[in-house]
Structure 1
Amino acid sequence: MDWTLEVVILPVSDIDRAVRFYRDQVGFDLDHDTTNEHMHVVQLTPKGSGCSIVFGDLPPQREMAPGSLKGLQLCVADAAAARAELVERGVQASELTSFGDQDGSTFFGFADPDGNTWAVQELKVRAEKPLIPVEARGRFGA
């Protein structure tokens, strides 16, 4: 039986500000932004990922303090290009750091407005072998 990690709850203090940051600056796809008399819940997914982030105002989404999630990891085929894209969009990102010559040894990081932190790892193999093939992508019929 497969067990897939598909959602990580991200603790934020301002839902609308977090949407703007992750959608407009980081470039995640907005899957849904649901507001009704009972809740406001948002789901965003990094391009090419099978795992999404969710934040909102339901009790389970408020169990962690805003900014308390540290070290979430993203992988990209080209760390320098990814960092440049984020910086161009106004995200403060650390400099590239390499721990060797092998694929997977280059990283940089950034934080959201609440202080949740992300590590971005370069895996050049993702350019040729994406984790989720392009033809298999598309949530909600997109």
Structure 2
Amino acid sequence: MDMRFEIAVLPVADVDRAKAFYKALGWREDADFPFGDDFRVVQFTPPGSPGSVIFGTGVSDAAPGSAQGLYLVVTDIEAARAELLERGAEVGEVFHDADGVFHRPGARNRVPGPDPERRSYCSFAAFSDPDGNAWVLQEITERLPGR
């Protein structure tokens, strides 16, 4: 049985501010359904992604900004970073991990610049939405076998 990851819930404090942010990034607005004063669902999809994010009023009990480690896979880390900067996101510098492939939370083991060998899975950049929900760009140019 196929199981496809479809939606990640982003806890936000201000729905309209979050909506403006993701719209400015060029993400497709899929839905904005208000159901009274205490429930509203907004859905956005990043360009080229089969998965989406939702946020709103009454959608999550989590603290605003507590979603961490949300990955966006890109084929060119520097071009993706430049586009997001152009669209108003505050994206950090491109980096790679000193000890290997997977980026760990925090700044430990971060080395400035893309992976020196430009290996797939090894170059990153990070940004957050206005509430602090944390996104990581990861450059993947060639998938591991079986993917």
Letter of the 1:55 partner, please give it: F
Long gaps (5+) in structure 2: 98-114
* 1:40 and 2:40 matched: yes
Question: Which structure 1 residue ranges, 4+ long, deviate > 3 Å from structure 2?
Answer: none
Could you tell me which residue of structure 1 aligns to residue 135 of structure 2? 118
Deviation string, structure 1 residues 1-49 (Cα, Å, up to 9, x no partner): 011110111000000100110111x221110111232632100011111
Q: SS of the counterpart of 1:62?
A: coil
Q: SS of the counterpart of 1:104?
A: coil
More helix by share: 1
- RMSD in angstroms over aligned alpha carbons? 1.7
Letter of the 2:95 partner, please give it: T
Contact 2:9 2:55 in 1 (8 A): yes
Identity %: 44
Q: Distance in 1 between matches of 2:23 and 2:140?
A: 23
Letter of the 1:112 partner, please give it: D
Q: SS of the counterpart of 2:80?
A: helix
Letter of the 1:67 partner, please give it: G
TM-score, normalised by the number of residues in structure 2: 0.78
Letter of the 1:6 partner, please give it: E
TM-score, normalised by the number of residues in structure 1: 0.81
